[in-house]
Structure 1
């Protein structure tokens, strides 16, 4: 099963979906020096959990008309102090007057000076990361709300599978268009539960109605079918994955294994050879 996006490693595309901002806005925040992403194996930009918090905060503080100089100063200190993992108390960041306020647990401080601030209105949450948005929910777009639910699901996925499922489904409900990452990650989450194969299959089937030519969705669907012991259907799904992405080594490997189970020696040799060639 292909893994969902983790909390610690985001691509530019998944970050854009998570934050609910345009690519141009996101690129502008990066060019302004708010974060310094690393490069992946294919030279693509990769972002950490700290980067996600900092970029979301920078975007909201710019919208609150906080001076860029003050944002940069506050975020430099904030990023240095952010933990590698999300604390159980959550992290909440917003503008209080012309200051940048950070709250974790019961503590709240000025992100630049470190001085404690008086409490401000925050909806209580348990164990979630919440980016406080001063815009009334009724005025925020469905795209923004879907992005917030997706972000919450990503944070809950390793600690609260039930909550993560609910958040992914809420993101799918609110998204103005098909939310590829919510479909993919929800399907993987249900598959990993061990007893939710039928539910996972339903998610991937629905996703493929919107993204019929996506090789990863066909691969994940094939894995679920295999776990449900629907081997003929799994072979067809792996085959469709390879039609769309001939370089998908794992699909060739799984097909080789299924071919051996079914006694198809010719297919076994063909797919095993393809797997070895692609993996070398």
Structure 2
């Protein structure tokens, strides 16, 4: 059986050696080691890492990726491999396609394709209810969360209306920031993430999301500060420890990076 070195995997997947080693430390996989203790990866390890890289690029949390891939191992027949599947992020869902069916591996729920136009022709839908003029900020927030699945722009407008009524609603700032972030409007996303950090002083999520955005803006020192604040707010936040470890490693702070990556691994494995 062909085995691959870390350098070969890095070349094949276009990943830095340090990121591959961090995947191993975080518990993504457990490659074999030769007599000199050098990591040796199988073809299945490569597929595993390729899938993890793709999902991370879609901002799927590390802990959820581990859970998804673990679920897939249980769901697939022994003779079926990851190479036969397409795994991708669809909005906030992770979907698996095997050529015949689509399903969400973390829930096991199958997804079906419907022709929306044919449904509209055969089903008479009730007229939409007019929006009440006396909607509260919470009403607008709830509406926005529902609209996210069908119209990002309408969801944004609903969050804006919520914030007009309650400028300190941290969850609205957080969700609106995420919508801006996901659509590439990073400056607007940063503004709302920072407001969520301020108005939700106990919530680690705004700090974490702001850290991810600052990494996208190539501002790693600021990102590290945000991840540190996230783990201060919640020491069990595994993804924050993991991202902090990676950023610190890229900044040359190896010792502190190892500490956070080790903590993330323990949290992922439930130790």
2:151 is matched with 160
Among candidates 202, 214, 221, match of residue 213 of structure 1: 202
1:229 aligned counterpart, secondary structure: coil
Q: Using the alignment, how far apart are the partners of 1:157 and 1:240 within structure 2?
A: 28
The 3 A distance-change label for structure 1 pair 2 and 209 is: farther
Among candidates 253, 262, 271, match of residue 273 of structure 1: 262
- 2:195 matched to 1:188? no
1:153 touches 1:163 (CA, 8 Å); kept in 2? yes
2:136 aligned counterpart, secondary structure: helix
Segments ≥4 residues shifted beyond 6 Å = none
1:147 touches 1:171 (CA, 8 Å); kept in 2? yes
Q: Using the alignment, how far apart are the partners of 1:201 and 1:219 within structure 2?
A: 12
**CA shift for structure 1 position 2:** 7.7
**CA shift for structure 1 position 154:** 1.9
1:248 is matched with 237
**CA shift for structure 1 position 173:** 0.9
**CA shift for structure 1 position 106:** 4.8
1:147 is matched with 138
Q: Using the alignment, how far apart are the partners of 2:60 and 2:199 within structure 1?
A: 19
1:227 is matched with 216
The 3 A distance-change label for structure 1 pair 251 and 107 is: closer
Gap runs ≥5 in structure 2: 1-58, 62-111, 118-122
Among candidates 172, 176, 190, match of residue 201 of structure 1: 190
**CA shift for structure 1 position 183:** 1.6
Q: Using the alignment, how far apart are the partners of 1:165 and 1:107 within structure 2?
A: 25
Q: Using the alignment, how far apart are the partners of 1:240 and 1:232 within structure 2?
A: 13
**CA shift for structure 1 position 268:** 1.9
Q: Using the alignment, how far apart are the partners of 2:231 and 2:125 within structure 1?
A: 53
The 3 A distance-change label for structure 1 pair 276 and 239 is: same
Q: Could you report, residue by residue, the CA deviation over 1:117-175 in whole angstroms, capped at 9, with x for unpaired residues?
A: xxxxx6x5xxxxx5x68xx73xx3xxx43233223322221332111111111111123
1:213 touches 1:244 (CA, 8 Å); kept in 2? yes
Gap runs ≥5 in structure 1: 4-83, 90-104, 109-121, 125-129
1:2 touches 1:188 (CA, 8 Å); kept in 2? no
Aligned length in residues: 156
The 3 A distance-change label for structure 1 pair 147 and 212 is: closer
The 3 A distance-change label for structure 1 pair 262 and 145 is: same
